[in-house]
Amino acid sequence: MILEGALLVILCVAQTASLSPTLPPTITTPTTPTPNVTTPNQPTAAPADNYVKIGAFNIQSFGKTKYSRKDVRDYLIQIVTKYDAVMIQEIKDKSQVMIHDFLADCQLHRNYSMALSKRLGRSRYREQYALFYDQDKLAVKKQAEYPDPQDIFHREPLVVHLSDKSSGQELTLMGVHTDPDDVPEELGEMENAYNWATSQGYPTDALIMGDFNADCSYLKASEYASISLATSTSFTWLIDSSADTTVSDNTDCAYDRFVAAGAARFTNTTVDRFDTTFNFTAAEARRVSDHYPIQTLWIV
């Protein structure tokens, strides 16, 4: 009996050892739209095709005080003039003089012109958008602010009809800086803004850009499902939530985005780490802005 019992124990142990361990269930969390272009911060060689280099840059609190700092101003000129077209956000000068002075400084390096919005906001706090574009390569046919019939936006998007002079190709650029307190609502209105633009004769090929505040505490992954700009197959997000467009060492957030619509082709979408370019410390970089520019190439 003792021998039989020992054999039974051995058989049970052997059988148990042969069973596969039970794995914990896979937990699926909501994801943001997946980009279909180069992962940000991994640029490749410039394409052989003709292209237009487009940027979007939230220059934090861009007013007379920041502009008066010569070293900061010189760095901003170097950053901005890399682009054939760049959407500047968070312009905060009541006199509206500073942005024209900045344009004149940049014109020493490129044949820039400017599409400028009115001052936008619901209170005494207001901002402007400015699209700087190189007149040697590009033309602006018209511009407008989205009329926002339901007053969803704190700062209505600037809409610009851009044309490439060499190829004749046309593109709608839409710049927006969402309010951090109303990100889902404002991004939820962007498809209506795009549809309004195309109904007014703006090209269906479009690039929506700017500081969307589309990450971290301002926009949670679960909220993307309610935003048609994120769920509709008509739009392609060129920068996903794995990117970090913030300068601070304490944040890792993809606030700034490009979203494409139509048949226009884009490549080499990246985050421009100017701190690396200029060998800045974190403190030195923050004097320029708390955001990095984002950039992409429009194939024309």
Query: For residue 45, what pLDDT is reported?
Result: 64
The active-site residue out of 127, 156, 186, 191 is 127
Query: For residue 268, what pLDDT is reported?
Result: 97
pLDDT of residue 208 exceeding 50: yes
Closest of 221, 223, 142, 236 to residue 185, by C-alpha: 223
Average pLDDT over residues 168-184: 97
* Weakest-pLDDT range from 71-80, 149-158, 220-229, 271-280: 220-229
The share of the chain scoring above pLDDT 90, in percent, equals: 83
Query: For residue 228, what pLDDT is reported?
Result: 96
Closest of 280, 211, 245 to residue 72, by C-alpha: 280
Domains and CATH numbers, the chain: 51-299 (3.60.10.10)
Catalytic status, residue 291: no
Number of Cβ within a 10 Å radius of residue 4: 7
pLDDT of residue 29 exceeding 70: no
Query: For residue 132, what pLDDT is reported?
Result: 98
The active-site residue out of 90, 156, 161, 177 is 177
pLDDT of residue 24 exceeding 50: no
Average pLDDT over residues 192-208: 98
Average pLDDT over residues 217-238: 95
Query: For residue 238, what pLDDT is reported?
Result: 98
Query: For residue 18, what pLDDT is reported?
Result: 36
Average pLDDT over residues 164-187: 97
More confident residue, 17 or 190: 190
Query: For residue 287, what pLDDT is reported?
Result: 97
Catalytic status, residue 161: no
